[in-house]
């Protein structure tokens, strides 16, 4: 379980996170939603110790994040993070060099699934294919938790469909997944937990299926209530 307790973050005078707490459980797909600039990415960065917090606590299965835990939790940011002059295979080799949890067989499966060509150089790839490489490098790690920042942003419909398929596949099964997105449409039927952020706080946290059952509302319905007043 990833436990986020009362985290605060400020950029200059601007309070971005103002006491946010929630948990991410294994075997569940959780989604942080909120309009742009609401601090979703900051939360993921903070979990991965890539940005300092003003206060608050984050633990992963009860432990504080140290570099050895990067074998247990993977982050797929919304930016290409491999070297552009590498090809797909070299990017995978790089991962294999450092991560104990790199699963070469699964990596091969994903390359096939995404129809990537191992000898393609990253800087020659389309934006959609670059996003796929990013996913590949994260998903092929045998980690317990995966964080994904805006996996659908700026990607064409068909790539989006392919990426959506990842979420109902064995690639994420039994793992704890935390996604941020403002394009909820594509994945709302895949989510377990939805965490709505607004003005640095959690406005609402609910199970999508329970929301449909008890109030007959889709995730977008709930979002509309929050952001339209």
**Is 141 within 8 Å of 101 (Cβ atoms)?**
yes
Identified binder of other proteins from the candidate list 22, 47, 82, 180, rule CB under 8 A? 82
User: 11 forms bridges with which residues in the sheet?
Assistant: 14
Write down the residue that tokens 């400020």 correspond to.
10
Identified binder of other proteins from the candidate list 4, 17, 48, 178, rule CB under 8 A? 48
**Is 86 within 8 Å of 136 (Cβ atoms)?**
no
Asked if residue 168 binds other proteins (CB under 8 A), the reply is yes
Asked if residue 144 binds other proteins (CB under 8 A), the reply is no
Asked if residue 173 binds other proteins (CB under 8 A), the reply is yes
Asked if residue 80 binds other proteins (CB under 8 A), the reply is yes
Identified binder of other proteins from the candidate list 58, 116, 190, 226, rule CB under 8 A? 190
Asked if residue 154 binds other proteins (CB under 8 A), the reply is no
Residue closer to other proteins by CB (options 115, 174) is 174
Residue closer to other proteins by CB (options 4, 219) is 219
Asked if residue 225 binds other proteins (CB under 8 A), the reply is no
The stretch among 21-29, 30-38, 56-64, 106-114 that binds other proteins (CB under 8 A) is 21-29
Q: What HEC string does the chain produce? A: CEEEEEEEEEECCEEEEEEEEEEECCCCEEEEECCCCCCHHHHHHHHCCCCCCCEEEEEECCECCCHHHHHCEEEECCCCCCCCCCEHHHHHHHHHHHCCCECHHHHHHHHHHCCCCCCCEHHHCCHHHHHHHHHHHHHCECCCEEEEECCCCCCCHHHHHHHHHHHCCCCCCCCEEEEEECCHHHCHHHCCEEEEEECCEEEEEEEHHHHHHHHCCCHHHHHHHHHCC
The stretch among 54-62, 76-84, 107-115, 197-205 that binds other proteins (CB under 8 A) is 76-84
Shortest Å distance, C-beta 194 to other proteins: 12
The stretch among 54-62, 106-114, 151-159, 215-223 that binds other proteins (CB under 8 A) is 215-223
# residues contacting other proteins (CB under 8 A): 49
Binding interface with other proteins (CB under 8 A): 27-29, 45, 48-52, 67-71, 75, 77, 79-84, 94, 97-100, 122, 164-165, 167-170, 173, 188-192, 209, 212-213, 216-221
């Amino acid at each position: 379980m990833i436990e986020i307790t009362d985290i605060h973050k400020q950029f200059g005078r601007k309070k971005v996170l103002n006491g946010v707490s929630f948990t991410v459980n294994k075997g569940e797909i959780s989604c942080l939603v909120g309009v742009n600039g609401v601090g979703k990415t900051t939360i993921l960065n903070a979990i991965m110790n890539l940005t300092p917090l003003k206060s608050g606590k984050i633990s992963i299965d009860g432990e504080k994040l140290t570099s050895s835990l990067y074998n247990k939790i993977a982050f797929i940011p919304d930016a290409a993070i491999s070297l552009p002059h590498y090809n797909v295979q070299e990017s995978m080799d790089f991962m294999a060099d450092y991560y104990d949890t790199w699963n070469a067989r699964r990596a091969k499966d994903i390359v096939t699934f995404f129809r990537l060509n191992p000898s393609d150089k990253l800087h020659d790839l389309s934006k959609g294919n670059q996003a796929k490489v990013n996913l590949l490098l994260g998903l092929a790690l045998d980690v317990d938790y995966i964080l994904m920042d805006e996996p659908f942003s700026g990607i064409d419909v068909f790539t989006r469909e392919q990426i959506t398929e990842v979420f109902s596949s064995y690639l994420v099964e039994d793992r704890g997944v935390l996604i941020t997105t403002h394009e909820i449409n594509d994945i709302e039927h895949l989510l377990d937990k939805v965490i709505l952020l607004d003005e640095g706080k959690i406005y609402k946290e609910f199970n999508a299926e329970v929301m449909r059952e008890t109030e007959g509302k889709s995730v977008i319905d709930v979002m509309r209530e929050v952001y339209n007043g």
